[in-house]
Structure 1
Amino acid sequence: MTLAASPARERVVRPKRPRHLSEAMRCETAFRLILSECLEEVATNHEALSSGDPTALHQTRIALTRLKAAIAFYGPMVADSEWTRLKSELKWLSAYLGATRDLDVAIENSKGLPEERMLMTARTDAFEALREALQSDRYWQWFDGMWDWVGSGPWTTRQDPRAAQRRAVPVSVFHARRLARWHGKLCHKSRGLQGMGKNKRHRVRLASKRLRYAIEFSEGGLPADVYASWRDVLKHLRKGQQLLGELNDDEVRRKLFESADALDQGADEGKAGHQRVHERKRKSQLLRRAAAIYRKIAE
């Protein structure tokens, strides 16, 4: 159960600052800049999100996904007990954001259909729960805790030689090595995409997002010719992520209808059967296109 934050409580306004990575920049500096950008995006969208704006919701989720990708990218350098606690709180927040966003997508894909009203009602309930979370002390403690952790968390003061070395590695060296590793892992995971189950396919989608954001983070931190080759990969990643996203949206929408017995209530058996045939055909087409994209990524 969450507690409502005091209406009189004033928030500290942190000025937005541009992110400029350079090849010689230390990894600890780059990490702080990237995470600050993500948190500033969350802060920028907070008021509109609390008012129910679907675009602000989408942008907040992207910012938090980018935040998690950056933390995973820098891995051992920033892993500590405080992040473990903050990660648990982020999971709590993401559950509310995800439930509302899933309904927004389902509503957009159901315009003019009988189930649209049912989805709108569910969205109202989900958003009320999200707004309560956004106005709670628990949320603000997490948000302020993230800023404190980025600036002065336990990871910043580890004195062992290996930890100090990780913080001091130049961006150009670390990013080149890390991007190559993540790219190799994605290529391995995406093999046989057309025959994958939804869980493995979901992991490919998550790995795609992370690599995409890692490449975007690396702009300015790699030599121009090196980054140019990653830009080609980025172009394919965006296409692949879109296709896998459409597959995921279809799956979420189908689950929402099944949980509400929407097919039984709003369609006869013949119509439902026709819908299943259409869904299988669409899934096959999307998977075929996605598999072709991921083959290009692996080239």
Structure 2
Amino acid sequence: MRCETAFRLILSECLEEVAINHAAVLAGDPNALHHTRIALTRLKAAIAFYGPMVADGEWTRLKAELKWLSVFLGATRDLDVAIENSKGSPEERMFRTARTEAFEALKDTLQSERYQQWFDGMWDWVGSGPWTTTQDRRAAQRRAVPVAVFHARRLARWHQKLCQKSRGLQGMGRNKRHRVRLASKRLRYAIEFSEGGLPADEYASWRIVLKHLRKGQQLLGELNDDEVRRELVESADARELRKRKRKAKRRKEHERKRRSHLLRRAASVYRKVAG
């Protein structure tokens, strides 16, 4: 199979998954939202994996729109995870209230013309985007490379990069650790994309790596969930503090006006007393 064909199949599968879950996401189903985010993450991983042969100006535009969409998907999904991890705690009610607000914004996004144009544009790009007709000889040669050859080379490169990035993991700050987690996801999905495209004996060694990646992704994911939950609580506390300050300011202004009003009336009365 040529790389061009494999790329189209992978992205079509991702977009179909988004379409299948669309109605359920709009109905508020947390699982459908989760599957949608996974599908879009796989889509981005596939485009990065095949990047040398498919990157073009239209993808740059579509990628910016996907980033816009991901903000709304991510905000609601973060709250779903926080709710799940806060069952019975004082924060659960707060997270559910915030989830309602975030979900309304997500619904507006998914029902917007902008979203529909992005989704249709993705299908058009996969089928007949500029990358499919570019006359660049090197890009055309890359698209014609057999999957087994390209995947073997690309997986080895991504694996090497992840090994370098993950050194000193325990001493890393959050941003670097986040980059390791994203690189792990991408490599994991790339290995999954490669099943059936690589010889069985060659894929067997990647299957072992895949097993470890899934475990590592789970652990780093749990750590990230804890950090996001803490940020959500801190953000809610900060909003509550601002709300209290605004309320105190309004109360103080009200008291000032009332005091001024009462003093004016009292002064008027005492002027009458003085004759």
1:255 aligned partner: 231
Work out which of the residue numbers 197, 205, 211 in structure 2 matches 1:221.
197
| Partners of 1:164 and 1:241 in 2: CA distance | 35
**Letter of the structure 2 residue corresponding to residue 258 of structure 1:** E
Q: 2:180 aligns with which of 164, 189, 204?
A: 204
Match of 1:180 in 2: 156
Q: State the Cα deviation string for residues 121-143 of structure 1 (Å, max 9, x = none).
A: 00000000000000011111000
User: For 1:55-107, what per-residue CA distance to the aligned partner results, in whole angstroms no more than 9, with x for missing partners?
Assistant: 00000000000000000000121110000000000001000000000000001
Q: CA deviation at 1:166?
A: 0.8
Q: Give the match for residue 118 of structure 1.
A: 94
- Percent identical residues: 87
> In the alignment, residue 151 of structure 1 is paired with which amino acid?
G
Structure 2 counterpart of 1:113, which letter?
Answer: S
Q: For residues 141 and 71 of structure 1, what CA distance do their matches in structure 2 show?
A: 19
Residue in 2 that maps onto 1:109: 85
- For 1:202, what is the secondary structure of its paired residue? helix
Amino acid corresponding to residue 164 of structure 2 in structure 1:
H
Provide the residue aligned with 2:245 in structure 1: none
Could you list the per-position Cα deviations for residues 189-230 of structure 1 after superposition, in whole angstroms to 9, with x for gaps in the alignment? 000000000000000000000000000000000000000000
CA distance in 2, matches of 1:120, 1:69: 31
* CA RMSD after TM alignment: 1.1
Look up the match of 1:135: 111
> Structure 2: which 5+ runs fail to align?
242-275
- One-letter amino acid of the structure 2 residue matched with residue 141 of structure 1: Q
The amino acid of 2:223's aligned partner reads: L
Q: Matches of 2:91 and 2:171 in 1, distance apart?
A: 31
TM-score by length of 1: 0.79
- Tell me which residue corresponds to 1:92: 68
Question: Which residue identity lines up with residue 62 of structure 1 in the other structure?
Answer: I
Q: Distance in 1 between matches of 2:23 and 2:236?
A: 31
Gaps of 5+ in 1: 1-24, 266-299
Tell me the SS of whatever aligns to 2:90. coil
C-alpha deviation, 1:160, in angstroms: 2.0
Answering whether residue 212 of structure 2 is matched by residue 236 of structure 1, we say yes
TM-score, length-normalised on structure 2?
0.86
4+ residue runs of structure 1 moved beyond 2 angstroms?
none
Task: Report 1:25-40 matches (<5 A).
Answer: 25-40=1-16
Counterpart of 2:248 in structure 1 is none
Which whole-Å deviations, capped at 9, do the CAs of 1:243-269 have from their partners, x for residues lacking one? 00000000000000011118x99xxxx
The AA in structure 2 aligned to 1:222 is: L
Between structure 1 and structure 2, the one with the greater Rg is 2
Out of 60, 69, 85, the position equivalent to 2:36 is: 60
Q: Does 1:46 align with 2:16?
A: no
Higher relative contact order by CA 8 Å / sep ≥ 6: 1 or 2? 1
Q: Distance in 1 between matches of 2:136 and 2:39?
A: 32
